[in-house]
């Protein structure tokens, strides 16, 4: 990192913080995603899903460009040097009095769908599509933050936490890890509504409230769908959730 100068913090999450940095050689600005986790070896770094996904998906006009991976063996620190965008969709619409124009929304959604199509065709699904992870620079949209991504061919059920609740698909809420790449499309639909209305579509306070809000808008699922959810559900958290939903459905 000696070739870069820190300019300021852009954001911070559970597993990383993002800084605006400047390359001292060429003067260009970049976004530096500094991981909080410490890594033992370059092999462990190269096995990181986010790095594998970005290397596989780059270059694409609607996927964030990864410029460099900086790993310090002595300290175990890892930083991803990516292109710097202007803002994310959340920042773009926050505090606006008037929604984006239909033309602008259509333009952004077309680019988001292109990024998802490219990703899914390459065997990867994102699992955390939300306004904060969709970046824009002028009229160009790029999908970023692949820290939660998985291979579409990986074995179900998935056990780890995924997807911010407001953008989580019903199959993620009602089964113990039996979901697939189509969950990204549900999340994209939620983003579309939010861009067009400036309000989240399903701002659930908890998982039960989340399902209730989805039901209020979408209606009761077909009996076949509910039966499938029940068949896919193991003896974990979800059975209780399904049981609690009897009054909702």
DSSP codes, 197-217: HSS-S---SSHHHHHHHHHHH
128 assigned to active site: yes
Cβ within 8 Å of residue 50, ≥6 positions away = 80, 146, 147, 149
Taken in order 194, 181, 145, 28, is the CA torsion positive or negative?
negative
Q: Is 169 exposed, middle or buried (0-12, 13-18, 19+ CB in 10 A)?
A: buried
Query: What token pair was written down for 81?
Result: 């040097």
- Is 36 annotated for ligand binding? no
- Asked if residues 85 and 132 have their Cβ atoms less than 8 Å apart, the reply is no
Residue with tokens 């400047």: 22
Query: Taking each helix axis from N to C terminus, what angle separates 237-244 and 207-218, rounded to the nearest 10 degrees?
Result: 50
Closest C-alpha to 133, from 52, 193, 70, 62: 62
Q: Cis omega (within 30 of 0) on the bond before 59?
A: yes
Q: Which of 86, 128, 176, 209 is catalytic?
A: 128
Quote the radius of gyration of the chain (alpha carbons, Å).
Answer: 19
Active site members: 128
Residue ranges of the annotated binding site are 33
Residue ranges of the annotated binding site for ATP are 33
């Amino acid at each position: 990192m000696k070739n870069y100068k820190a300019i300021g913090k852009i954001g911070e999450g559970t597993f990383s913080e993002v800084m605006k940095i400047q390359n001292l050689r060429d003067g260009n600005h970049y976004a530096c995603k500094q991981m909080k986790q410490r890594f033992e070896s370059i092999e462990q770094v190269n096995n990181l899903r986010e790095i594998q996904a970005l290397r596989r998906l780059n270059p694409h006009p609607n996927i964030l460009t990864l410029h460099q991976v900086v790993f310090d063996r002595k300290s175990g620190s890892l930083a991803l040097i990516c292109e710097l965008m202007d803002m994310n969709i959340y920042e773009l619409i926050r505090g606006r009095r008037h929604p984006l124009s239909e033309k602008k929304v259509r333009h952004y959604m077309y680019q988001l769908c292109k990024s998802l199509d490219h990703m899914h065709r390459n065997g990867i699904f994102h699992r955390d599509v939300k306004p904060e992870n969709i970046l824009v620079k002028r009229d160009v949209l790029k999908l970023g933050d692949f820290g939660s991504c998985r291979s579409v061919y990986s074995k179900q059920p998935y056990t780890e936490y995924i997807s911010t609740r407001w953008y989580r698909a019903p199959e993620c809420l009602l089964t113990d890890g039996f979901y697939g790449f189509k969950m990204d499309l549900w999340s994209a639909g939620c983003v579309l509504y939010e861009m067009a209305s400036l309000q989240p579509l399903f701002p659930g306070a908890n998982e039960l409230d989340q399902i209730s809000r989805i039901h209020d808008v979408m209606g009761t699922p077909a009996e076949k769908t509910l039966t499938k959810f029940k068949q896919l559900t193991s003896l974990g958290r979800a059975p209780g959730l399904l049981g609690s939903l009897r009054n909702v459905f």
